[in-house]
Structure 1
Amino acid sequence: MLDTTSPLWWIFAALSAAAFIAAMLPGMVNRRQKIFVSMGPAFTFLVLLGFAAVYDESVTEWLPVYSAVLIACTLCVVGHWKAMRTFMTWRAENPGKPDSEGPDTPWVLQFVVTLPVCLIPAILYVR
């Protein structure tokens, strides 16, 4: 098993970010949504940097958790691209309405299951 300080985690984190973007972009219908989704890995990395600074932790040691979050988000949309595109089209056409009035979002249930399955082992691995 890889050590948490291994530089290979940077490669895995980059691949996780690429997988996230590749999975999410097909569901976006306009430029604004695509830009917003593309910023997801960068925003998540900023959260990781903040965590590392506040708790005086190594960024490299927490890259498995960063990667797990991105992989969980990627896996939550697998098989739901059509529904996600339908929802994002509705959202683009109805910018002021709450999301609960829109079409179903089946990937949310998949996310609720996938996030703990990916995140718990990653946190246990780091600690």
Structure 2
Amino acid sequence: MILPKGTTIAVADGEKLNLFRNSGDEAELKLTRSEHSQVDDDAQGSGSRQNSSGNPDQSQASEDGFSAGIVALLNKAVLGGQIDGLVVIAAPRALGEMRKHYHKALSAKLLGEISKDLTGHSMGDVETAIQAA
């Protein structure tokens, strides 16, 4: 995948978010870490899971809420003009939840998605995954 300079890369799972920017150019990808505000992990997930005695999976509901909070943060940045291009790299389950919350403006800025959990990996691993996509 070839990314323009300034593209934002969000690497996420249900518990962690890392943001990067491509400070290189289209010919040579070079990621630099980017700061972001706190993710609202109290955000409501898609509601596909109800917590009850029959389905007591509170940790999955918490991860879904965190994924929704990540997208709320990204939606706000896109709508505020802070993101010109976006690549989302996320664990498959988190990516599925995140897609449910994309604003149409975010979808328009989305350059690609990679369904892979790379949150605990090095920046080099993330660059390799992007180049291979």
TM-score by length of 1: 0.31
TM-score scaled by structure 2?
0.30
Looking at secondary structure, tell me which structure has more helix per residue.
1
> Which structure has the larger Rg over C-alpha atoms?
1
